[in-house]
Amino acid sequence: MTTFRDHVIWITGGGSGIGRALAEAFAADGAMVAVSGRRAEPLDATVAAIESAGGRGLAVPLDVTDEDAVFAAVDTIVDHFGRLDVAVANAGFSVAGRIAKLSAEDWRRQFDVNVVGLTSTARAALPHLEATKGRLVFIGSVMAYIGAPGTGAYAASKFAVRAIGESLAMELHGSGVSVTTIHPGFVESDIARVSNDNQLKPGAKDPRPAKLMWPADRAAKVMKRAIARRKRQFVFTGHGRVAATLGRWAPGLVYFAVTRGSRR
């Protein structure tokens, strides 16, 4: 698929996991890729991988909770590459813990990154995407459809991402800009090794089920296809689709299964 040849693509959270895999996949199609994130070293590593394969990359460090920095990053990218065709709001992390134990600061931190940071990314990119009839992409989660004990803050943020994606797709109808909200199941990433204060703990164990985990490069391929086709909503991994379907159409069954299991 060469849909993205000579396109300029910006990915937040582009230094690892899904973000890096997407960056490399787009670059392999002939796209020029800018990656952003808080840590410069992973971004530089992503750009080095792109350039070693013959592509063009650009590292633009930023914290998506800094609105001015987000808008400045877009200016830097457009100044460097001349345009913007695709913006992928991928930056995010997970605050874990039961709701009774989470502080107001935990909630603010979760929503500042996953929701406010995502909308800042969209607002900064939109004028340029309107000029190119481009694509805006939100990375949500299967947890936008289903909650579970200990995941209330993260699930709430991803429910919000889903709502924002649906609303913005309607608002942009007729503009030429598509909005694709992608909801992955379990994909290899550092998300489970990031603490509630949004700090990476490299040695932390990933508690997610290894047998259900998709490699990031495999996930990037199906995500890139959904973006190319301008799908509005895309849920993937087999288990993710099952969970999303149950969460949407059989929430009572989910409640029964989870609460019954917790009593054992």
Catalytic residues: 154
Instruction: Report the SS3 class of residue 70.
Output: helix
Closest Cα partner for 155 from 252, 38, 245, 244?
244
Q: What H or E segment, with its residue span, contains residue 240?
A: helix 238-249
Closest by alpha carbon to 171, among 128, 132, 122?
122
Which of helix, strand or coil describes residue 185? Answer: coil
E strands, 64-191, are: 86-89, 135-139, 178-184
Greatest CA separation found in the chain? 59
DSSP state of 112: I
Determine the distance from the C-alpha atom of residue 35 to the mean position of all C-alpha atoms in its chain, rounded to a whole number. Answer: 13
Rounded CA-CA distance 78/39 in Å is 21
Distances (CA, A) of 226 to 27, 46, 66, 164: 16, 22, 29, 18
d(CA 125, CA 74): 7
Taking the CA atoms of the chain, what radius of gyration do you get in angstroms?
18
Burial class of residue 153 (count of CB atoms within 10 Å of its CB; 0-12, 13-18, 19+) = buried
Confirm if 58 and 47 have CB atoms less than 8 A apart.
Answer: yes
